[in-house]
Amino acid sequence: MKKVLLVIFLLPAVFSAYELGLLHMEVPSPLPKMSAEFDMEHRFYGSLTDDPFSSLFGLYYGANSYLALKFAPIKGLEISCGRKSTDQEWTAGVSYSHRFPAAFIRGRLGIEFFTYNDPEVENNPANFFYQVGLQSEPILGRIKPVVTAAFDGYNQRFGLGAGISVLAFQYVWYFEEISLLAEYYPVFGREGQTWLGERNAFVIGLGLSTSGHQFLLSVGNTWDVSARRLMLGTSSDGLHIGLGIKRVFKF
């Protein structure tokens, strides 16, 4: 019995690494059929540039944490749920991804239900986030640009995002893939909208993929962790460290 439990626990560790996505932006699903992904992320409230040594580069001021689980019953279809500490936000969503070989692109269409506590709203509404994204097949075998457009039902506005993944190294030490990752979210129509961030949000970082795991290290001008919130901009004037771990399980 102990041997069986040991095999079940170690089995995900012997899988080949699965394709890296981006830091916060959703990309067409890389998950194989009958697999699940557990995602744990932290983005620290403290600024990397504000008294970095006494605050340990902003890590002493707590973090916005995010936990999520995705399940792919068939290739391309994902069912997800998540919880974010800031605003006590819960999410549940479904998406479908498909490749278009003739056009050299991959597409993703998703809808996400979300709810969170807003202290300025007496009866907090629950709303939906509609998102469509396109990702290129690897250019020169290394470069994958991504664009996404979305509609935020809570704030009644459209959002845009652009990202890119650049493969830097393959098969280095225990890592099958090491890539440079970046995302940018322009915000339009700020006039009179005081709740929007003063600056456009961006995040840059490094993704490392190994057997059954992915590790994400990043720096951005926001302490939020979802594309929906980054599409609303940021009012931070500092840089914030982000850490993430993803683990895949196949059934």
* Beta carbons within 8 Å of 122's beta carbon, 6+ residues apart: none
Cβ neighbours of 14 (radius 10 Å): 9
Residue 51's pLDDT is what? 67
Residue 125's pLDDT is what? 66
With CA atoms as reference, report the closest residue to 46 among 38, 54, 57.
Answer: 57
Q: What is the CATH number of the domain that holds 38?
A: 2.40.160.40
CA-based max dimension of the chain: 65
Domain holding 144, by residue range, is 2-250
pLDDT digits (tens, 9 = 90+) for 141-156: 999 999 999 999 988 8
Residue 238's pLDDT is what? 87
Domains in the chain, number: 1
Residue 219's pLDDT is what? 95
> Residues for the chain: how many in total?
251
CB 61 within 8 A of CB 238: no
Residue 194's pLDDT is what? 79
Residue 7's pLDDT is what? 43
Residue 192's pLDDT is what? 77
Mean pLDDT by 10 residues, the chain (251 residues): 45 62 93 94 84 62 89 96 89 96 95 79 76 96 97 92 96 92 94 86 96 93 92 91 92 78
Residue 123's pLDDT is what? 63
Spatial separation of the C-alpha atoms in residues 72 and 29, rounded to whole Å: 9
